[in-house]
Amino acid sequence: MTAALSPSLPRTFSLKASNRLGLTLSIAILVHLLLILGLGFHQEPHPKPISKTLDIALTIVKSPERPKEIDFIAQENQIGSGEQVRKTPPKTNDSTPIRKQDVQKVVTKSPPPEVQQQQTPKAVVTTKAQKPEKAPVQAQPDRVTPPRPKTEPAPVFDSSTLSAEIANLEAELAQDTERYAKRPRVHRLNGVSSASDISAWYRDEWRKKVERVGNLNYPEEAKRQKIHGSLRVLVTINRDGTVAELKVLESSGQPVLDNAALRIVRLSAPFAPFTGDLARHYDQIEIIRTWRFERGDRLTN
């Protein structure tokens, strides 16, 4: 008996495996049919339109009595009046105040532009210098030519006139030559003259005489006020020993000393006349010396 049952087991197992797909499809179709048939679809009825509307109006003037016929609903009683046939809600010219803080300005931010990978080349701006406007040319007035001066004709000289002019010029030249020849021959001496000069002896004699007379006639005012100083004096002596010119070249700053020096020269004149070579070559001698009124009431020259 056991042997008879064992061959049937493999056949049953193979039968189930081959019909597995068909069984699954059958079950799925059956489930979908149950869902479709079991569920129903229906359309909701349209909402009934509102048969009546309610108008509400805001009253402007309150009335203590309630009106019998009401046109609009408001927060207070108001009896209508006027000549209008149609029923219009009351209006007002006053605008509703709006608080600034309730109104906010909406600013839409534009998206940032895309960054270009390649930079655009910079445009080269060239400017042209404006040409200066030419000023309008003004019409120049006609130039007035000044009258030309009348040219006098050149004088005509004859031979006799030219001879007379030449004679006059020769006479003037002769006079100038004579005056130049007759001018005094001046020999100028100063403190740096050399000892070999022909007038050295005359200069030394002149100095000794001036110092001797000056010390004998020393200014009394300079003694009392103890005034001291130095000055430069020019003395021009003629060939006969007289004084031709006398003046102070550099002042001592003290009028007492300047005047005393001039007075001493006048007291010392006349000086010795020229002799020898000095007389033959010169007519005048010019001596410039420094006069010193020193302490102890002493004059040196």
Q: What does the pLDDT look like over 89-100, one tens digit per residue?
A: 555 555 555 454
Within a domain: 138: no
Residue 103: pLDDT band (50, 70, 90) is very low
Residue 24: pLDDT band (50, 70, 90) is confident
Q: Tell me, what CATH number does 214's domain have?
A: 3.30.1150
Does a cis peptide bond (omega within 30 degrees of 0) precede residue 270?
yes
Flag whether pLDDT at 132 surpasses 60.
no
Residue 301: pLDDT band (50, 70, 90) is confident
Distance CA 297, CA 207 (A): 18
Tens-digit pLDDT profile for residues 270-291: 999 999 898 999 999 999 999 9
Interior CA angle at 40 toward 36 and 42, to 5°?
A: 140
Within a domain: 170: no
Within a domain: 266: yes
Flag whether pLDDT at 201 surpasses 50.
yes
**Among candidate residues 167, 147, 191, 160, the one with its CA nearest the CA of residue 286:** 191
- Residues 6 or more apart in contact with residue 149 via CB below 8 angstroms: none
Within a domain: 107: no
Residues in the chain, how many? Answer: 301
How many domains, the chain?
1
Range 83-90 contact pairs with CB under 8 angstroms and sequence separation of 24 or more: 89/55, 89/57, 90/57, 90/58, 90/59, 90/60
Within a domain: 265: yes
Query: What local confidence, expressed as pLDDT, does residue 151 receive?
Result: 76
Distance CA 79, CA 68 (A): 9
Residue 115: pLDDT band (50, 70, 90) is very low
Within a domain: 62: no
Within a domain: 178: no
Asked whether 186 and 282 are in contact (CB, 8 A), the reply is: yes
pTM greater than 0.85: no
Query: What local confidence, expressed as pLDDT, does residue 163 receive?
Result: 83
Average pLDDT over residues 136-146: 63
Tell me the sheet residues that pair with 73. Answer: 56
- The tokens for 108 are 């839409």
Distance CA 246, CA 235 (A): 5
Within a domain: 11: no
Query: What local confidence, expressed as pLDDT, does residue 34 receive?
Result: 82
Asked whether 273 and 242 are in contact (CB, 8 A), the reply is: no
pLDDT greater at residue 267 or residue 188: 267
Torsion angle of C-alpha atoms 171, 172, 175, 177, degrees rounded to 10 = -110
Mean pLDDT score of the chain, rounded to an integer?
73
Range of the domain at 228: 186-300
Asked whether 188 and 239 are in contact (CB, 8 A), the reply is: no
pLDDT greater at residue 169 or residue 40: 169
Flag whether pLDDT at 161 surpasses 60.
yes
Query: What local confidence, expressed as pLDDT, does residue 239 receive?
Result: 93
Asked whether 219 and 260 are in contact (CB, 8 A), the reply is: yes
% of the chain beyond a pLDDT of 70? 52
